[in-house]
Structure 1
């Protein structure tokens, strides 16, 4: 046999091997959740509670250290939920319990800035106490409105140290004279030692901020326009709330009891920032150390 024919045969073998390798690469490996029913059951249970894949992954690392069969990355959970090649790995209807509620992944859209009125006599956030920034002292709160179909809304309060969240019904409307009584009543329910400051979005619902300060003893600081990072904890919390309070819903139909249930669910979710402890657990630790956080 000539060298040419030997070379051709060798080239053919390499080509076939390459094609087979590419075919194997295209064929997805079985998903870990499909192979481990116990792990799948836990992941599905936590997804049903509206935990994010990252929260589930971190919580598993914390609760099952060293157990490889009970560990999974958040990306692997997302792939099991969204990759069409892994349809049997997990109950895909659980995407409805994720923050976006979307059956397929979509890129984030840019958020357009909203117009805001001018609120007089408010003190700049640059004059907040330094302890607000480092979060070592509990009692500094962030707040904002979460809008539904206008003019319906609810108010949110988030404590910066623990990330403890309170959700407040606003059955009367979103004008300052309608928001102030409900917000003030809730703030007065917080122990005085953890009622230090309140940072709020620059909205017209804060026109009576001096009344709030006089009644509660909490100075109100408006965040600067187009500076959401000045109350980033509250911004993130409000995104979480969209799982429960859709944008186009009439939020006046939710009672305070309904919203207390939502707040309790959020406070029972593990947070990465706390080493996957929950805000309620952090509050319990603060109570033991003498800084009561009871809302």
Structure 2
């Protein structure tokens, strides 16, 4: 009986929800698959998702473009993304996760699969596509041919079309064959001349693809690879590739031929992009007297003077092992400390003190840490090393962003969920050397080791 009542309640909810099977199923607490089965047997067809309204800025953008405003300026004034504006101008339509081009190409950006028309003739969709008003239509081309046969001037044709005479002249000069202008032939030629499919640079075998694959195996980021290529191959223009092309080759199946590299290529190990989200709230664990980051010297905040460090731990499973990570704010130089047995305040202090004491005096400016209880012995650390400790505000990891970024890089070597105690101090030193030998965008594509060496040799 309960099942019958539930089914009746579903059909009542279906009327209330405007015919949406999913919404009605949610309202009565029924599995959507079950609800769709009921609707199908009853001969009821769901209305699906409501059709989305067009872009709110398109009308304004079209008005500005018709008035002769540049694409970039018109997009900015209409609050439209420049790529969206370019798609509108080129007659590209978005259909789900695919984009339909005027020449008949349908590109699915989830799978990378491209469906194209024949290479010899444009598709019907390309010929009959409704594009930006500045493009001539089939009807306008027919009118040009008719008025031209009457022997009227280019200016007269332009007045009939509401277009400049120069537009008419360019059209006739470019599309005429054997001295005759045929409108439908001109339309097909125009459609065929528009954007055509083009293989990605990395979809082709060659030295560029080999170099990119080698750098990815060495765990370089796509942006590092992009900026290193002009330095390594200054005279070879073929050895150029953008970071986005590399990401597309890695992320999108069949897009660029680097699919097999995905497991080790990117530091996150993801196979698709992930939007940034707000961090989860964490309870405050450190309650002893602290010197807050707001009291840190200005020279540490603007990274003008070297010797100011950021620190944290990366922790193994069940918090049984950890690694101390220190990053110098000016040079991004990395130091790692071994904590195989635990990370109590005393154990962290006993690793930090000798690690910092290896540095010359002018590189011992300050240490910034979060409010983790492992720094309960911060006063003892300061007494032993002379390095003051400043604590970040609660839930503010961006206040030690260099260290957060470095911890992300280290997870490429020490994945989450793995036992960190198996790594010896020599292993940590090897990893630190690798990180310190990578070029960094923020350093003008120099390495942290080079920047630190320059500081040590000039002071």
Shift of the alpha carbon at 1:37? 1.3
Counterpart among 294, 298, 301 of residue 130 in structure 1: 298
Between 110-119 and 41-50, report the one with greater CA deviation.
Answer: 110-119
1:34-53 aligned within 5 A: 34-35=203-204, 37-53=206-222
Between 231-240 and 60-69, report the one with greater CA deviation.
Answer: 60-69
2:408 paired with 1:253: no
Shift of the alpha carbon at 1:36? 6.2
Distance 1:166 1:113 in 2: 29
1:150-189 aligned within 5 A: 150-151=318-319, 152-189=321-358
2:437 paired with 1:268: yes
TM-score normalised according to structure 1 size: 0.86
**Which string of whole-angstrom CA distances, capped at 9 and with x for unpartnered residues, describes residues 188-229 of structure 1?**
111122111000111000000000000000000011112222
Distance 1:30 1:58, change over 3 A: same
Between 236-245 and 54-63, report the one with greater CA deviation.
Answer: 54-63
What residue number does 1:115 align with?
Answer: 283
Give the conservation status (yes or no) of the 8 Å contact 1:140–1:160: yes
Distance 1:62 1:150 in 2: 45
Shift of the alpha carbon at 1:51? 0.4
Between 200-209 and 220-229, report the one with greater CA deviation.
Answer: 220-229
Shift of the alpha carbon at 1:17? 7.1
Q: What is the aligned length? A: 282
Give the conservation status (yes or no) of the 8 Å contact 2:324–2:338: yes
Distance 1:129 1:102 in 2: 38
Shift of the alpha carbon at 1:264? 1.0
Shift of the alpha carbon at 1:114? 2.8
What residue number does 1:293 align with?
Answer: none
Distance 1:195 1:239 in 2: 24
Question: Secondary structure of 2:445's match?
Answer: coil
Distance 1:170 1:39, change over 3 A: same
Give the conservation status (yes or no) of the 8 Å contact 1:223–1:230: yes
Question: Secondary structure of 1:158's match?
Answer: strand
Shift of the alpha carbon at 1:19? 8.2
Give the conservation status (yes or no) of the 8 Å contact 1:179–1:205: yes
Give the conservation status (yes or no) of the 8 Å contact 1:158–1:233: yes
Shift of the alpha carbon at 1:118? 2.5
Shift of the alpha carbon at 1:236? 0.8
Question: Secondary structure of 1:221's match?
Answer: strand
Distance 1:183 1:84 in 2: 45
1:1-295 aligned within 5 A: 25=196, 27=197, 29-35=198-204, 37-65=206-234, 67-87=236-256, 89-90=257-258, 92-108=260-276, 110-151=278-319, 152-290=321-459
Please tell me whether Structure 1 or Structure 2 has the larger radius of gyration of its CA atoms: 2
Shift of the alpha carbon at 1:86? 2.6
Shift of the alpha carbon at 1:12? 7.7
Give me the CA root mean square deviation: 2.6
Shift of the alpha carbon at 1:146? 1.0
Shift of the alpha carbon at 1:266? 0.8
Shift of the alpha carbon at 1:112? 1.6
TM-score normalised according to structure 2 size: 0.57
Shift of the alpha carbon at 1:180? 1.0
Q: Unaligned regions of 5+ residues in structure 1, if any? A: 1-6, 291-295
